Amino acid sequence: MTIPAQGWAELSQAEKRDRTLEAADRLFAREGLDAPMPALAEALGIGVGSIYRQVGNKEDLIGALVIERSKALSRRFDEATARPDAWQALKGAVHETVDDCLRDALTQSAWDQAAIVSDEVRTARQQATDSLTAMFDRARESGQIADEASPEDLRLLFFALREFSSVGSDQAHRFADLVLRGIRS
C-alpha cells in the first residue's frame, strides 16, 4: 500500500521518521527483512534518498525499529511494576509481550545484530531488560516467584517466540502460561 507523498515536505522531521518506521514495519511484516529500500520508498511515495535522510541505511532502520520496541517494552514493564498486584501485573505484561512477539516481523537475529552495531540499540535493549528485572523482582519480593526462577526465564520465552512466531497465538500463550507456572512459587 502506497502512502501518498503529498504533504511530505510539510511534515516535521519527527513525523517523517514516524511515517517511515510505520511503513517499514508493515513492509517487513509482509515481505520479510530482505525487502529492499526502494520498495519502502515506493510504499511511502518518496525517493530512497528521503529514507536515508530520515533513518539512515537499512541497518539503521532496523536498529530504529528495535529501539522503538525496546522503549515500548520498558514502558510496559515499568507500568506493570507500579501496579498493586505484582503477580497479575507481571502475568499481564508477559502476555502482552507474547502478542508483540507474534506480530513482530523483526526476528531475534535482527534484534541481536542491531545491538552489535549500535550503542543506542544496546542501551535501549538494556533499559528494557532492567525494567523487566525490576518488574520480576517486585513479584519475587511479594513472595510470588520461586527462588530458582530468574528474569532470564522470561527473556528466553520472548526470544523463542520471536524466532518461532508461527506457532500461533493459542500455542504461544499456552507456552507463556507454562513458563509462568514454572516460575511461580
Q: Residue-wise pLDDT tens for the chain (185 aa)?
A: 445 545 788 888 889 999 999 999 889 888 888 899 999 999 998 999 989 888 889 999 999 999 999 999 999 999 999 999 999 999 999 999 999 888 887 777 788 888 888 899 999 999 999 999 999 999 999 999 999 999 999 999 998 888 777 888 999 999 999 999 999 98
Stretch (H or E) spanning 53: helix 48-55
Task: List CB contacts of 60: < 8 A, sequence separation 6 or more.
Answer: 118
- Nearest-CA neighbor of 112 among 62, 40, 52? 62
Separation CA 33–CA 104 (nearest Å): 11
- The pLDDT, as a whole number, for residue 23 is 92
In the chain the beta strands, taken as DSSP E runs, fall at: none
Give the pLDDT confidence score for residue 1 in this predicted structure. Answer: 47
pLDDT of 69 reads 92
Instruction: Report yes or no: 17 and 55 within 8 Å, Cβ to Cβ.
Output: yes
Distance CA 50, CA 41 (A): 8
Domains of the chain with bracketed CATH: 8-56 (1.10.10), 59-183 (1.10.357.10)
Q: Which of 131, 184, 175 is CA-nearest to residue 156?
A: 175
Cell reading at 103: 506480530
**Cα–Cα distance list, 40 to 33, 54, 59, 68 (Å):** 11, 12, 14, 18
